[in-house]
Amino acid sequence: MPARLSVLLLGSVLMAFSGTAKAQAVPVSVPGPAYRVYPGDEIEVVVWGDERLQRSVRVLPDGTFAFPLVGQVVAQGQLPADLERIITAALRPQYRGVVPNVTVMVKNPSGYQFSVVGKVRSPGTFTPGRYVNVLEAVSIAGGPTEFAQLGNVTIIRNTGRQMQTIPVRLNKALSGNTSPISPSDVPAIIGGDTIVVP
């Protein structure tokens, strides 16, 4: 590298650290919440050192899957690490020594689905492949139509024993209002939710 260029680069670095030049912030990617298994997900289970127990399985609509020497495993709502512990504990009686390491990976998160109905341009059921909030869900459905009542959007959520309705007001977020928007204004969508845009 030429000496003049070296001096210029060194000077730039010194200026940045001396406070005479402001260093630009580097955006940091923050991971979302850990993925929990949904019915319809395809997961791969590997029991290291025992090829007979390596397989891909799809989680059934009831939230379970069958695994050799273990039986039915309740997977819905579990983290992959939780399933590793459950399968390891169930295999322990089958081995005289230490149970081989168990690895569980989500191969295809197709169980994370939601539906958008009502006054949107492309209503339907969607599998985004990532977590989304209600505003993103409406956007994935093509956005609201001209006469949509964005102040009366409802999320219908199946909590197991009952249906929960969550009212959402998207008119503030979609009006161009620059005032702060809280997570309660645009709640996260979970698998199985239905968003109704009247």
Residues 24-41 pLDDT 10s: 554 454 566 889 999 999
Supply the mean pLDDT for the chain: 85
In CATH terms, the fold of domain 114-197 is Outer membrane lipoprotein wza fold like (3.10.560)
The radius of gyration of the chain's CA atoms, rounded to the nearest angstrom, is: 25
CA 46 to CA 55: how far, in whole Å?
Answer: 7
Name 133's Cβ contacts closer than 8 Å, sequence gap at least 6. Answer: 183, 186, 187, 188, 189
Six-digit token string for 3: 């000496």
Q: What are phi and psi of 56, to 5 degrees?
A: -100, 135
- Of residues 137, 131, 146, the one with CA closest to residue 196: 137
Beta bridge partners of 104: 45
Report strand pairing: 194-197 vs 114-118: parallel
| Residue-wise pLDDT tens digits, 140-182 | 999 999 999 999 999 999 887 789 999 999 988 887 776 777 7
Span(s) in the chain for CATH 3.10.560.10: 114-197
Say what the pTM is: 0.75
Domain with CATH 3.30.1950.10 in the chain: 42-108
For the segment 31-53, the average pLDDT, to the nearest whole number, is 90
CATH architecture of 42-108: 2-Layer Sandwich (3.30)
